[in-house]
Amino acid sequence: MTMTKRIITNLLRLIALGATVAAIVVMVTSHQSAEVLNLTFTAKFSNEPVFKYFVVTEAIACGYTLVVLILSSRSLLWRLIVILDAVMTAVLTSSISAALAIARVGKKGNSHAGWLPICGQVPKFCDHVTGALVCGFVATIVYALLLVFSLYSALGPVFGVKPSDGSLP
């Protein structure tokens, strides 16, 4: 892998690492209490299994990114890394999709099921969840870009694509 490709790959991984860490921190710190009809309830991420799934997948992606950054790019494991990048992209896509669906129900409710929106009562909680989901979405997009870049780097020689050295043909 040339130096430019290594720099781009490491930069994308660092951006993904920052986005996953931010998503974890913001989601874990999201909690707020509210009083409705003299009843106090607390909204926190751990009350919803989907948000727990979101935090766990972001943590797995964060740990994987750290391991890959520590490994040498000259390692023979680069094909495995391409496969694991695809797995991480799929897992992150799954978790962000599920969390966005639940967040939408929390924000808008569901009149057909009789579920009322809760963001009017706990706006700070909803703002934290929204921030975590934005960070998670950024991480998912960066991993998708990283996957495309890794596939291009790994499969380019198979299809006869020669890396450009900057000179014109």
- H-run or E-run covering 91: helix 78-108
Q: What is the pTM of this model?
A: 0.84
Number of other CB atoms surrounding residue 90 within 10 Å: 14
> CA Rg, the chain, in Å?
20
pLDDT tens digits in sequence order for the chain, 169 residues long = 577 888 888 899 999 999 999 999 999 998 787 777 787 878 888 888 999 999 999 999 999 999 998 886 666 777 788 889 999 999 999 999 999 999 998 888 878 887 887 888 888 988 999 999 999 999 999 999 999 988 887 776 666 656 554 443 4
Number of other CB atoms surrounding residue 84 within 10 Å: 16
Counting Cα atoms < 13 Å in the Cβ hemisphere of 139 gives 37
Measured CA distances, 31 to 26, 62, 65, 105, 110 (Å): 10, 23, 28, 17, 22
